[in-house]
Chain A
């Protein structure tokens, strides 16, 4: 593999009506919708479309609710308070309708083998990740979409007016570059979990948010970025739901009071900080429930089976892994019903986009997240196709310029290509610890943000990668930008709402019942969503 950054790699020049960045559920539904609208589509994933991302590696419930008024009402009401009343019922209705249609399509033409319930009907309220995503890949291929695997996007391209006109990236297994001129671009690159190794999330480094911000788009809800999931210690398998059948213990075997209740996870976090260990035993599962767990989520048992632990009869240590904005709800601000952003030609979907519209400031399990991914993906893909069609042939005649800055085109002298590792470590030091991100307090957020600002200033001056791995520097820059938007927003929200809990402001403040927008790179700004912005979004 060549790593000399003086070499100018071969560039493959492609054109498409729609380019989709990402390869998970939102990206594949977007690519399908765009192709079905008649668009010529290129989809590029950093990894492999079919295994990349949080969904493929796990399994997820889906917010699949039949269109019966009482059931829909119950579904909409279920998490409104937890989300701090920042969700929007009109968007919930749209997502419930679209998700119902998409899941039925997955069962029909997608031939997804949903399990059959006791009444003889398919149960369509959950999907197994590997099966779901391998079928989505097949569907995307059969729709004629060109898939570029192992091809991380490095930056967006824009025309003279600032409209997004394509992307540039690298094909890391070939060590060549690629450029796609496109009429519209959908960012479905996932959230950002800061390389915490939470299951399947290490491809989710917030790249799309960085690209969007460089193009001038805003973000929303970035204070809702402190989700942590339970996993057996030193493993990656974050499957928090089954721990509702668990009891938690101190290292000496005495029961840990309060863990497993509503505040269960923060008790676990505090105990891990104070005592260094928390033990767990899934001792409340009957034999029937144990059997159902194995059928429902075989990968939950991988750590136990491979380490020789019986989780139902033995105590094992647990940890909490950061899931950032993968399960947190913040992301690129959605400006219209079609999942457009405020930048012409740029659309956002899935975890890359804010999920506040249906979740507000909280998401529990994956069901809303899966529903949002497929719904927003379908809308973004269809709208991107319409945008490209409207541009017609002029899309390919546009003068284009690259928008990438941090980690790609440093303002000063480029540093060592391996510098990205130090940047990643510096960011992780500020966003992974429970006492900084999870259990928030202004006195800890402020110095953390100062440190992140200093990291940003240094990387902006000199960070640049090289060779086939040069997207690493962009990932590091994206993580640093993400962390700064998170903590700027977390400091601005001087209250407790949704998953954002401030120890120094423990109450919900009626005067802050609004979403917070943020953006900017060298200078970060935060502002309440204005009345006019609310109108656009709702």
Chain B
């Protein structure tokens, strides 16, 4: 769930308020977004992707972090390189290569409750097959 809005980093662009699909943020009295409805957060990480200032952090747990958790500690997260890490991975932001253009996943192995991925190119010339994965 969303745990951190860094007032220090925030550029008050309000993009997170708009882009959050479950409307978790409100504007605070100083115009910096606040986490108004954390329980509505669906832990989809998309607010981070849309934040141009790397000011947000979504902990991967689908429940709130307990007091004292390092995943609520902005300084720890910054030092660990976690602030803005999702945005970096998908290549959003000036000067980066879009992750979508590099997204060639591995073949998905057959036999896991699904059939083998149907081949759509002849084996001799087939490039690595992007995954057919669950959403």
Binding site for B on A (CB under 8 A): 46-48, 50-61, 64-66, 71, 74-75, 78-79, 82, 112-119, 121, 123, 125-132, 149-150, 172-173, 197, 199-203, 229, 232, 234-245, 260-265, 284-285, 288-289, 292-299, 301-303, 305-307, 326-327, 364-367, 369-370
| B93, CB-defined interface residue at 8 Å | no
Contacts A234-B62, A302-B60 given; indicate if A365 touches B134 (C-beta within 8 A): yes
Contacts A125-B120, A240-B133, A292-B105 given; indicate if A118 touches B59 (C-beta within 8 A): no
* B71 → chain A closest CB, angstroms: 7
| B53, CB-defined interface residue at 8 Å | no
- CB-CB under 8 A from B98, the residues of chain A are 113, 131
In the complex, the number of residue pairs spanning A and B with C-beta atoms less than 8 Å apart equals 248
- In the complex the two chains form, is B129's CB within 8 Å of A285's CB? no
Other A-B pairs beyond A123-B127, A235-B60, 6, CB < 8 Å: A58-B134, A118-B127, A123-B104, A123-B130, A129-B135, A302-B86
- In the complex the two chains form, is B21's CB within 8 Å of A203's CB? yes
- In the complex the two chains form, is B127's CB within 8 Å of A117's CB? yes
- In the complex the two chains form, is B23's CB within 8 Å of A364's CB? no
* A290 → chain B closest CB, angstroms: 8
Question: How many B residues are at the interface, by size bracket?
Answer: 35 or more
- In the complex the two chains form, is A126's CB within 8 Å of B103's CB? yes
- Interface centre among B44, B62, B128, by most chain A C-beta atoms within 10 angstroms, is B44
Bound Cα distance A293, B102 (Å): 11
| B113, CB-defined interface residue at 8 Å | yes
A126 and chain B: residue at smallest CB distance: B130
- In the complex the two chains form, is B20's CB within 8 Å of A74's CB? no
- In the complex the two chains form, is B18's CB within 8 Å of A149's CB? yes
* B60 → chain A closest CB, angstroms: 4
- CB-CB under 8 A from A364, the residues of chain B are 113-115, 132, 134
Bound Cα distance A371, B49 (Å): 25
- In the complex the two chains form, is A264's CB within 8 Å of B19's CB? no
- CB-CB under 8 A from B110, the residues of chain A are 244
Binding site for A on B (CB under 8 A): 17-23, 40, 42-46, 49-50, 59-63, 71, 82, 85-86, 89-90, 92, 98-106, 108-120, 125, 127-135
10 A-B residue contacts at CB 8 Å?
A51-B21, A54-B135, A57-B46, A61-B132, A130-B90, A239-B133, A296-B104, A305-B85, A306-B59, A366-B135
* A2 → chain B closest CB, angstroms: 14
- In the complex the two chains form, is B20's CB within 8 Å of A128's CB? no
- CB-CB under 8 A from A288, the residues of chain B are 106
- In the complex the two chains form, is A172's CB within 8 Å of B23's CB? yes
- In the complex the two chains form, is B62's CB within 8 Å of A235's CB? yes
Bound Cα distance A119, B45 (Å): 34
- In the complex the two chains form, is A115's CB within 8 Å of B134's CB? no
Bound Cα distance A82, B111 (Å): 13
- Interface centre among A55, A197, A260, by most chain B C-beta atoms within 10 angstroms, is A197
- CB-CB under 8 A from B46, the residues of chain A are 51, 56-57, 130
* A529 → chain B closest CB, angstroms: 26
- In the complex the two chains form, is A53's CB within 8 Å of B21's CB? yes
- CB-CB under 8 A from B22, the residues of chain A are 47, 202-203
- CB-CB under 8 A from B61, the residues of chain A are 234-235
Contact of B109 among A132, A245, A298 (CB under 8 A): A245
Bound Cα distance A125, B103 (Å): 11
Bound Cα distance A299, B129 (Å): 19
Contacts A52-B21, A235-B61, A243-B112 given; indicate if A65 touches B118 (C-beta within 8 A): yes
- In the complex the two chains form, is A55's CB within 8 Å of B135's CB? yes
- In the complex the two chains form, is B133's CB within 8 Å of A236's CB? no
- In the complex the two chains form, is B114's CB within 8 Å of A365's CB? yes
